[in-house]
Chain A
Amino acid sequence: MTSRLSSGRPARRHILPGLNLTLGYTLLYLSVIVLIPLAALVLKAAGLGLDGFWAAINTPRVWSALRVSFLTALAASLVNLPIGLVIAWTLTRYRVPGRRLVDALIDLPFALPTAVAGITLTTLLSPNGWLGAPLLEAGLRVAYTPLGIIVALIFIGLPFVVRSLQPVLEDLGYEPEEAALSLGATPSQTFARVILPALYPALLSGFTLALARTIGEYGSVVFISGNLPFKTEIAPLLIVGKLEQYDYAGAAAVAVAMLVISVTLLLAANSAQARLGRRGQA
């Protein structure tokens, strides 16, 4: 007990060696690769001044791109919650033919280059694609619409939700639901009142990770979106466009706006999760 106590607290001198070396290298590498380049970005945007910055992002096209990026990522991450829950639940609870293969495939979106995913989904869903043609006949246009962006982002975000849920479902086991059933709860009551609440932190963390990843996604989206300004133009594409026109300050302004949005989201979700996690432990 006391050894746990002591190892968790700072000691004046560390017995294990290497803190100075590893911490020094960590800070140096972090600064060179991440912090200084990000500072260059912020400085560039700051160079516009507050009015200039506002003028750069307060255009209908920028707002539209930010909205498309945010809303499609939000929609895709929400859709991934039930899909991810079904898959994670089935993989932990039931006998699935080829379980190991299916489980390994879940990570395909992590491992498959986004550009490959992009051209593949576009081919599949374009008006003459395997799925696109029948869907178009049914009156549903997917490729080159916001729906296409959402499909690509569902693909990208899926493993985040499944992988967040799986370990929690494994830990949960059967005891809580058996306890609920033995107390006379129906299976649906058991799911809604016992199982789902236990999964909230994992669902939230999966949702957050998926959102953080998809909100800035570029490679898988750029092919399927059609890139129509005001309709399917995403914020990262707008940045690329501004760069190609040598509007570096404008690109930096949009980038800073995006960074602010995603970092705020992450911090909010982290604190919400910390609160949920504390409740879960109590």
Chain B
Amino acid sequence: MTTSKASVPQLRRTRLQRWWPTFMVTLTLILVGLLLVLPLLVVLITAFRSGVGPYLQALQTPDTLSALRLSLLTVLIVVPLNTVFGVSAAWATAKFDFPGRSLLLTLIDLPLAVSPVISGLVYVLLFGRQGWLGPWLEANDLKIIFAPAGIILATTFVTFSYVARELIPVMQAQGKDDEEAALTLGASGWQTFTRVTLPNIRWALLYGVIMCNARALGEFGAVSVVSGKIRGLTNTLPLHVEILYNEYQTVAAFAVASLLALFALLTLGLKALIESRTGHSHP
């Protein structure tokens, strides 16, 4: 009985079916090619424009190496800090209900709505020479703005929400049954957390850490405001790229950029690996 009714649209559909997927796939590949692949190629080709020698040379200058060191130091401090915070915030907000919980969730997401430049500015206003705590810091010979500490703080602000955001929905969806089961079996709170909760969230946690790491390594706007861009002292890799580019050292700029692009591709690879392990794609 359905054949007589459905035959007409179905005929039309089969003709559509023939060209429509091909069209959509082609369009997608063109868009992805233009928007994503082409920029990657530009980085590589420009970096190697003058050959391998100048490329390697650009990566080995003392300024590049010190920028790399500061970037790694920043990541090594910021990512663990935001990870501990993310786990803690997720435990409190996903496993419990309390007054003000939804306000807290909004506040945790707040840094995502703040322009990176403002994320740097707030610390300048707090710790800069003209800032609220500036005179006190100066009197005690402490330096935050135009120093690594400021870069670390600004990066912490920008990547503040990254781990928490991944964990909260996952922990909320998992509910409390597993933890309650562990408690009825005699586990302590810490045992429950390390043996039950942590394994349950391990992929989401790793995912959050990877994305936090990528953003911390690549942050530019916030860091640029607090850094002062003192070569060899307060320069991170992205800031170094900017300086080289503005000095028309194009090959060197893109050589350092290619290093960052490599980190980005590594991030994407790890992310894809996690998604294939969990069978979920994360927004």
Contact = CB atoms under 8 A, between A and B. Distances in A.
Interface of A: 7-10, 14-19, 21-23, 25-27, 29-30, 33-38, 40-41, 43-44, 83, 86-87, 89-91, 93-97, 100, 102-117, 119-121, 123-124, 130-131, 154-155, 158, 160, 163-164, 166-167, 181-182, 184-187, 212-213, 215-219, 223, 235-237, 239-240, 243, 246, 248, 251-252, 255, 258-259, 262-263, 266
A9 B99 CA distance: 11
Contacts of B124: 243, 248
Contact of B25 (A29, A96, A106, A117): A96
B183 to A, nearest CB: 7
Interface centre among B5, B29, B283 (most CB of A within 10 A): B283
Nearest to A11: B97
B63 interface: no
A100 B271 CA distance: 11
A108 B264 contact: yes
Interface of B: 2, 5-6, 9-10, 12-13, 16, 21, 24-25, 27-29, 31-32, 35-40, 42-43, 46, 84-85, 88-89, 91-93, 95-99, 104, 107-108, 110-118, 121-126, 128, 130-132, 153, 156-157, 160, 175-176, 179-180, 183, 189, 192-193, 211, 214-215, 217-221, 224-225, 237-239, 241-242, 245, 250, 253-254, 257, 260-261, 263-265, 267-269, 271-272, 276, 281-283
A182 B2 contact: yes
Contacts, number: 301
Contacts of A96: 25, 28-29
A7 B173 CA distance: 12
A22 B88 contact: yes
Given A10-B98, A41-B118, A219-B238, A119 B35 contact: no
Interface of A is mostly: helix
B24 A90 contact: yes
A186 B118 contact: no
Contact of A218 (B2, B117, B125, B192): B117
Contact of A7 (B36, B175, B218): B175
Contacts of A44: 125
B130 A33 contact: no
A106 B275 CA distance: 14
- Most A C-beta atoms less than 10 A away, residue of B32, B265, B272: B32
Contact of A248 (B125, B193, B260): B125
Contacts of A107: 268, 271
The 8 residue pairs across chains A and B that have the minimum distance between CB atoms: A216-B115, A113-B218, A17-B189, A218-B221, A219-B220, A37-B122, A236-B117, A111-B264
A9 B96 CA distance: 9
